[in-house]
A and B are shown apart, each in its own frame.
Chain A
Amino acid sequence: MELKVKQVNRLDGAREALYLPALFVGFRLTIKHFWRNLFGSRDVVTINYPEEKRHISARWRGRHRLTRRENGFLSCVACYMCETVCPSKCIHIQAGEHPDLSVEKYPVVFNIDELRCVFCGLCVEACPKDAIRMDTGVISMAYTSRQTFDFTRDLLKDNYDPKAHSNPKYGDSDLPSPANQQEALPNSQGVPAS
């Protein structure tokens, strides 16, 4: 196979041998940058990260969040869509029977192993109930124990802090237990309870 070789002519002559003209060209460039940055760092594009943070768009896929219904109960109906579609198999759901027949199911266990998650966002797309979102804007998750990364149904909580919620978990007793159909689904047209 014939290699394609680009011949570059070596610059020659007194001008090149003198070095000084090339030196002045270089100085013009570096001194220009030096003076521009001497007063106010105008060309510097660095973000001083811990102090300044880059703007994150609303579509940025950050840490997961579980949404609630109007009455505060989990939106999730434990349909296993997200667990099925998840390419890294990091979602683990156990369905339980909801006392309210119109809701039918809810996740007794909803675990996300964040160390396996690849933040592809497929779970969000797959969810029929808009129950899981990735819009928290939390982009850096650095904790010191593996257990902290094992996110649970605590993701439901506002201002979720994995370190604070790792133990105890958000239990069933923390969920609102509606007394009747109307309270559980106020906007429902009413599926008759048994």
Chain B
Amino acid sequence: MEIILEIIMIPAVLAIIKIMVVILMFAMPLGTVLTLMERKWSAMIQDRVGPNRANIGKFTGHGALHLAADGLKSIFKEDTMPKGADGFLYLIAPFFGLIAGVATFAIIPLAGPIGDFTFQVTDIEPGLLFIFAITSLSVYGAVLAGTSSNSKFALLGGTRAAAQMISYEVFMGLALMGVFMVYGTTRVSGIVDGQNDYWFGNLIPMWGVLTQPLGFVLFFTALVAETKRAPFDAPEGESEIVAGYFLEYSGMRWSAFMLAEYVALVGVASLITTLFFGGYHVPWLHLWESAPQWLVTILQVIKFSIFTLFFCWFQIQLRWTVPKFRFDQTMALGWKKLLPLSLANVFVTAFVILAFG
């Protein structure tokens, strides 16, 4: 027993276990379920019934079996490749986005540390800069898929995706600059702990959304644009370029693009929770000083999950509420409005910190 514990506590082994838990028990299942939930929820928004046909005998589970049906279908579908496609790039492109989406969870803490044990795969010093590095990798998925498909629509979609994601990355970083300044660190655990302070005694928690309201709106907009979902879905542009950069894909590789989108959606939700809504910290829980450690950890996980789920729902609701931006409007919004706003946000934050400490 002790030897097993010792092996588990080796940092590398522990990290692998954490990665498995975070990916296989949190990111992937939630992303997969959201593919169905988006269809169900959008049906509710539009007064439709939504998927409910897949069944085993009489059992349909209100459409839950569509998950299994879709998965089976993608696995057994032919994996086609267009004539003249760049084989190697075409085959690996779907997994760039997926890997980038999953890597986001490496720095997300699910609960507070117990002693030396952290509920976080790694708490690296650069912290959020790692996120920026990884999300810029996900551009490669779209670009490689677009260029290697030997299809004009896919090429257009890939070009649009590259332009949009690179532009929005610029002020995604600038929008977070305010958060770095307020909490004085880029380390994720530092930012989360900084949000556990309170204003006016124990009245209002110093959540990022209260200290950086404009930063929150800007960062959220930039992340939605990064995931290429409506209203910034010009790269996919169903009405004009069919499906954009992953037009030529079929079967499981197509599913990898879809899964990457939903894993990124969960990633966005957990990032927003971590940076702007107190992360795992349950507000006012520190007032209950005799709370047992296990209960605190469970409450923290529950709080984090609820906020993450809420923002997953919010993004889906956003997609089914707003119309799509035309591509030039996407660019105009990014460069002419959001970039100056995020710069102003940085200056105002710096001024307030200087003036009022």
**Residues in A lying within 8 Å of B, measured CB to CB:** 17, 20, 23, 26-27, 29-31, 33-34, 37-38, 41, 43-46, 48
Contact = CB atoms under 8 A, between A and B. Distances in A.
The residue in A31, A37, A44 that gathers the most chain B C-beta atoms within 10 A of its C-beta is: A37
Contacts of A34: 41, 44-45, 317
Contact of A44 (B48, B217, B320): B48
Given A41-B49, A48-B52, 16 more contacts: A26-B322, A27-B317, A27-B318, A27-B321, A29-B321, A30-B317, A30-B320, A31-B317, A33-B46, A33-B47, A34-B45, A37-B43, A37-B47, A41-B44, A44-B49, A46-B48
Contacts of B49: 41, 44, 46, 48
A43 B322 CA distance: 21
The residue in A23, A30, A33, A43 that gathers the most chain B C-beta atoms within 10 A of its C-beta is: A30
Contacts of A20: 217
A50 to B, nearest CB: 10
B41 to A, nearest CB: 7
Nearest to B217: A20
B322 A37 contact: no
Contacts of B217: 20
B317 A37 contact: no
A17 B337 CA distance: 9
The residue in B47, B48, B52, B337 that gathers the most chain A C-beta atoms within 10 A of its C-beta is: B47
A44 B47 contact: yes
B47 A23 contact: no
B231 to A, nearest CB: 9
Interface string B199-236: 00000000000000000010000000000000000000
Contacts of B43: 37
Kindly list the 6 A-B residue pairs having the minimum CB-CB distance in the complex, ordered from nearest: A37-B44, A26-B321, A43-B47, A30-B321, A46-B49, A30-B45
A37 B47 CA distance: 7
A27 B317 CA distance: 8
B322 A23 contact: yes
A45 B47 contact: yes
A54 to B, nearest CB: 15
A23 B323 CA distance: 10
Contacts of A23: 321-322
Nearest to B320: A30
Interface SS, A side: helix
13 contacts: A20-B217, A23-B321, A26-B322, A29-B321, A30-B45, A30-B320, A30-B321, A31-B317, A33-B46, A37-B45, A38-B44, A41-B49, A45-B47
A26 B321 CA distance: 6
A44 B40 CA distance: 13
B207 to A, nearest CB: 20
A137 B172 CA distance: 63
Contact of A33 (B44, B318, B322, B337): B44
Interface in B13-48: 41, 43-48
Nearest to A20: B217
A46 B53 CA distance: 14
A162 to B, nearest CB: 27
Interface string B110-125: 0000000000000000
B263 to A, nearest CB: 23
Contacts of B320: 30
Contacts of A48: 49, 52
A8 B45 CA distance: 29
A26 B317 CA distance: 10
Interface in B42-89: 43-49, 52
Contacts of B52: 48
A147 to B, nearest CB: 32
Nearest to B44: A37
Contacts of B41: 34
A132 B340 CA distance: 79
A17 B338 CA distance: 12
Contacts of B47: 33, 37, 43-45
A30 B317 CA distance: 7
Interface in B312-332: 317-318, 320-322
A44 B49 CA distance: 7
The residue in A27, A34, A43, A48 that gathers the most chain B C-beta atoms within 10 A of its C-beta is: A34
B45 A33 contact: yes
Contacts of A44: 47-49
B345 to A, nearest CB: 15
B42 to A, nearest CB: 9
A54 B36 CA distance: 28
A45 B52 CA distance: 15
A152 B44 CA distance: 48
Contacts of A29: 321
Interface in B273-331: 317-318, 320-322
A29 B226 CA distance: 26
The residue in B44, B49, B337 that gathers the most chain A C-beta atoms within 10 A of its C-beta is: B44
A41 B47 CA distance: 8
Contacts of B48: 44, 46
